[in-house]
Amino acid sequence: MFNVSNNLLVGSLPEGITDCLNMKYLDMSINNFDGFIPTGLGRLDKLLEIRLNMNKLSGSIPKEIFDSTNLEVLFVQTNMLTGNIPLEITTMINATKIALDHNKIKGNIPMGLETFENLRILHLHQNRLTGSAPPFMPPVIAGDVDKSSYIVDCGNPAYLLPNGKKISCPTCTICCNSDGMCQENVDFDVYLPTLYLFIFPLVVLVIFYLLSRTDVFRSKRQPALICSDDSVYCFIFSNQRSALLVHILTATIQFCLFAVYLEASNLQSETTDWLFTFRCPENNVDCKDEKTRSPIGWVLFAIVTTSYLGSDLFQGILQLQYAAKKKDFQVFCSGFLLLSLTLMAFYASITYNLGLAATNTDLIMNAVILLFINDLDEQIFSIFGMVAPEWTEAQVESSKATLEAKMSTCVVEFVPKDTDNKDSSSGA
């Protein structure tokens, strides 16, 4: 073993160390050594570890050092190395840790590293690499994967990389960007689950329809319970097309606003707002997550969103319940739209907080912002009430009349028949 790490040594690496044929561990890290890495290190057949990190070494990584077939650890990060990653690195089959980060290495990453069975750490970030990273799957230890095991420059922005294009690395555990900040690589498409927000109301409708055929429930709800009269969404029951147009435009605006926040929550997007809260320092192979949010914050978030969106959620369900019982297409459209928008508000709030909430207070603050969007229909209703009060009142009255007619029909159907009165009247 030759260990002179963590000193103030200067000058170039001595060629004489390549004559130590029995050496297994070479550690000259955390000094001020400059110059090139000796090519003669490849003659040391027994060498297991090379640690030259945190120096001022320049030039390229010599391909000759990989002639040492027993090499397990190669730490040359935080230097001024240039050139490409030698293809000979794929012969380092016994490797457990490879760290080439924080240099100026360019070119493509050699394929073949993914076949290394013992590899635990592969750090290639903060370089000038291009293309795609090998599909290396970090080993699972104690039922979990070390988040600091596989790091590449696969984050945005990537202005320091050639052509400003980030590296494609679906299997990386952490992605870093050109600002020196990193984030856990989350393989999650925010738009695919959005489809389920529209499928769920249909599932609810089918369930209620099947239940209605067995008379499991009886609905005697008042019209005000299934549709609020302080929202433009009640205009769907009006007999004027202008009111229906206001309803459709409001729903469209809400969907577009939620879509903007969903796009900002997409880590794979070029315009993502994700907070890169991981720090992968140049003097340590372990990354640290600086987020402080906790389960308590998520519980408070759930309480706020549920209490705020609960009424809309149940109104949408009640409308679908009525639509299933009476086969009413108009009520179905209202319930489907209301329930979908409410579920989208829930989903957008959760995904946006996953990406941007670093603290418990962020969880609540972001939720309030998105819940304000969900309140847009009531705010627009208030504007119409001030600008055109008579027209607004007429639409509300028309909607009430339509709902009362529908609900009264429903209630009459559910009133039990009085067989005694029927018999007495027929006898008379």
Q: Where are the domains of the chain?
A: 2-184, 192-274+290-414
Question: Looking at 295-365, which runs of residues are DSSP E strands?
Answer: none
pLDDT (average), residues 39-53: 94
What count of other Cβ atoms lies within 10 Å of the Cβ of residue 27?
Answer: 18
Q: Which fold has domain 2-184?
A: 3.80.10
pLDDT value of position 324? 83
- Tens of pLDDT, residues 388-398: 999 999 998 88
Tokens 């493509």 map to which residue? 108
pLDDT of residue 167 exceeding 90: yes
DSSP label of 45: T
Strand 278-279 and strand 288-289: the pairing is antiparallel
pLDDT of residue 421 exceeding 80: no
Query: Alpha-carbon dihedral of residues 51, 52, 54, 55, nearest 10 degrees?
Result: 160
Q: Tell me, yes or no, if the pTM score tops 0.85.
A: no
Tokens 């960007």 map to which residue? 177
pLDDT value of position 332? 87
pLDDT of residue 51 exceeding 90: yes
pLDDT of residue 427 exceeding 70: no
Q: How confident is the model at residue 182 (pLDDT cuts 50, 70, 90)?
A: very high
Q: How confident is the model at residue 424 (pLDDT cuts 50, 70, 90)?
A: very low
pLDDT value of position 142? 59
pLDDT of residue 186 exceeding 80: no
- Tens of pLDDT, residues 243-282: 999 999 999 999 999 888 888 887 767 677 888 889 998 8
Q: How confident is the model at residue 80 (pLDDT cuts 50, 70, 90)?
A: very high
Across all residues in the chain, what is the average pLDDT? Answer: 85
Lowest mean pLDDT among 72-86, 189-203, 319-333, 397-411: 189-203
pLDDT of residue 206 exceeding 90: no
Helix (H) or strand (E) holding 176: strand 174-176
Report how far residue 398's alpha carbon sits from residue 236's, in angstroms, rounded to the nearest whole number.
10
Tokens 């969106």 map to which residue? 309
pLDDT of residue 34 exceeding 80: yes
pLDDT value of position 65? 93
DSSP label of 132: B
